[in-house]
Amino acid sequence: MRMARRECLAMGGGLAAALLTGLGTSARAAVRPVKPVVLGHRGCSALRPEHTLGSYAKAIADGADFIEPDLVVTKDGVLVARHENNIAETTDVSTRKEFAARRTTKIVDGVSQYGWFTEDFTLDELRSLRAKERMTGEGLRVESHSYDGMFRILTLAEIADFLAAESAARGRVVGLIPEIKHSTYFAGIGLPMEDRFVRELSASKYLATAPVIIQSFEIANLKALRGTLGDRPNVQFMQLIDDDAQRPADVVKAGGTLTYGQMTSADGLAAIAAYADWVAPWTRQLIPLGPDGKLGEPKAMIADAHRSGLLVGCYTFRPENQYLAADFRNDAGANARNPEGSVAEIRRYLAEGLDGFFTDDPALGRRAVDEAS
């Protein structure tokens, strides 16, 4: 007999206590977590180059409940973890003379980009590159830059194996929250992602029971994956939200007019709840900044989402002054780390009823959650 979703997740201990969802073929009812879940944004990307073993290991050591691989595709059809398929900023490819001729311009989801793209490299070629910190500036992410060149690009299969090893070593379940990137774009160049993702998920014994939240800024791929994976008690779905006036790439491709702003209306959230468990806008869509750069009045989105049966996440909390609302900055400079300010800002958002959140620094996210409980 198939276990109910809550029974399966209960096997995960502390994480399961924070993430429980009811089952039902005609309706899904979200159960608020005991504690908000800490989502390691690209791992611990404030302190290690993103999407590397170093970043994921640090996130887990610092208390992340989930780690996030953004997934793109190689020329030979392998899913790898990079924030974008353009790897100019996150690898040393620009220093590699043998790949100089592959620099090109492409239109990805309507945006012109100049650089090197994963779909033009085989996995073996990508493995020869090394990751680096993408944020630059005097005093910005100095610790992360100290690891430039140490780590290579990872496949989804390698990340699943790493999670299994970490879970066994630490005696706790760590979840996976993969983002399917540029689904419509990759399908358009003959490298559709969803079937590949399902095969990888099915191949991992660890991911057969560990919590998995599949996220996307697009709609059609989440609906398709829900149709394929929706009966798995450990799998949930997260609809990411971009700026209000923007439209999901699959909506644009189909000639539709639906905007993210319409998706986060009360009716729009109810529609999302038909195929997803979570909705996740960016932070300032939940609490906007006022003219002085300080947090203003919260919007009704969290309450509206909860009424629709959705859990609410958001992205992304970063610990440097320049990324904080003015309420929480100190006078150390725009690029300086401000851990106390970051914890205080996260706690302000948690007070509005967040169920989970992405942070570049999971140790600070863990502090915020534990201090608020």
**pLDDT greater than 70 at residue 132:** yes
Predicted confidence at residue 372, as pLDDT, reads 85
**pLDDT greater than 80 at residue 354:** yes
DSSP string, 326-357: GGG--SS-TTSB-HHHHHHHHHHHHTTT-SEE
Q: Is 40 exposed, middle or buried (0-12, 13-18, 19+ CB in 10 A)?
A: buried
- Give residue for tokens 């609410």: 312
Q: Mean pLDDT over residues 203-210, rounded?
A: 98
Which residues does 2 contact at the CB level (< 8 Å), separation at least 6?
A: 231, 233
Q: Mean pLDDT over residues 119-144, rounded?
A: 98
**Helices 362-372 and 339-350: crossing angle, nearest 10°?**
50
Q: Is 107 exposed, middle or buried (0-12, 13-18, 19+ CB in 10 A)?
A: exposed
Domain ranges of the chain: 5-84+146-372
**Helices 156-170 and 194-203: crossing angle, nearest 10°?**
30
Residue type, 227: G
Query: Residue 17 — very low, low, confident or very high, per pLDDT cuts 50/70/90?
Result: very low
Sign of the torsion formed by the C-alpha atoms of 84, 217, 306 and 173 = negative
**pLDDT greater than 70 at residue 221:** yes
The pLDDT tens digits for 162-174 are: 999 999 999 999 9
How many residues are given for the chain?
373
**Helices 194-203 and 220-229: crossing angle, nearest 10°?**
30
Predicted confidence at residue 33, as pLDDT, reads 83
Tokens standing for 202?
A: 């099915």
Are 349 and 287 in contact by the 8 Å Cβ rule? The answer is: yes
Distances (CA, A) of 304 to 190, 263, 308: 39, 12, 6
**pLDDT greater than 70 at residue 2:** no
Mean pLDDT (the chain, rounded): 93
The widest CA-to-CA distance across the chain, in whole angstroms, is 59
The pLDDT tens digits for 41-85 are: 999 999 999 999 999 999 999 999 999 999 999 999 999 999 999
Q: Mean pLDDT over residues 208-232, rounded?
A: 97
Predicted confidence at residue 27, as pLDDT, reads 42
**pLDDT greater than 50 at residue 3:** no
Q: Give the closest residue to 52 by CA, choosing from 142, 164, 127.
A: 127
Are 170 and 72 in contact by the 8 Å Cβ rule? The answer is: no
**pLDDT greater than 60 at residue 159:** yes
**Does residue 224 sit in helix, strand or coil?**
helix
Strands (E), 173-267: 175-176, 179-180, 212-216, 235-240
Are 92 and 99 in contact by the 8 Å Cβ rule? The answer is: no
Q: Mean pLDDT over residues 341-365, rounded?
A: 98
Tokens standing for 229?
A: 């994976």
How do strand 278-280 and strand 20-21 relate by DSSP bridges?
A: unpaired
Q: 5-84+146-372: which CATH topology?
A: TIM Barrel (3.20.20)
- Please give the helix or strand (H or E) that residue 60 lies within, else none: helix 53-61
Q: Mean pLDDT over residues 310-333, rounded?
A: 98
**pLDDT greater than 90 at residue 12:** no
Q: Give the closest residue to 49 by CA, choosing from 166, 165, 136, 178.
A: 136
Q: Give the closest residue to 33 by CA, choosing from 275, 300, 356.
A: 356
**pLDDT greater than 90 at residue 256:** yes
The pLDDT tens digits for 265-319 are: 999 999 999 999 999 999 999 999 999 999 999 999 999 999 999 999 999 999 9
**pLDDT greater than 60 at residue 201:** yes
Give the C-alpha separation, 256 to 183, whole Å: 17
Query: Residue 16 — very low, low, confident or very high, per pLDDT cuts 50/70/90?
Result: very low
Query: Residue 25 — very low, low, confident or very high, per pLDDT cuts 50/70/90?
Result: very low
Of all residues in the chain, what percent carry a pLDDT higher than 70?
92
Q: Mean pLDDT over residues 325-342, rounded?
A: 98
Of all residues in the chain, what percent carry a pLDDT higher than 90?
91
DSSP string, 290-312: -TTSSB-PPPSHHHHHHHTT-EE
Query: Residue 29 — very low, low, confident or very high, per pLDDT cuts 50/70/90?
Result: low
Tokens standing for 171?
A: 């005696």
Predicted confidence at residue 1, as pLDDT, reads 29
Are 233 and 212 in contact by the 8 Å Cβ rule? The answer is: no
Residue type, 369: V
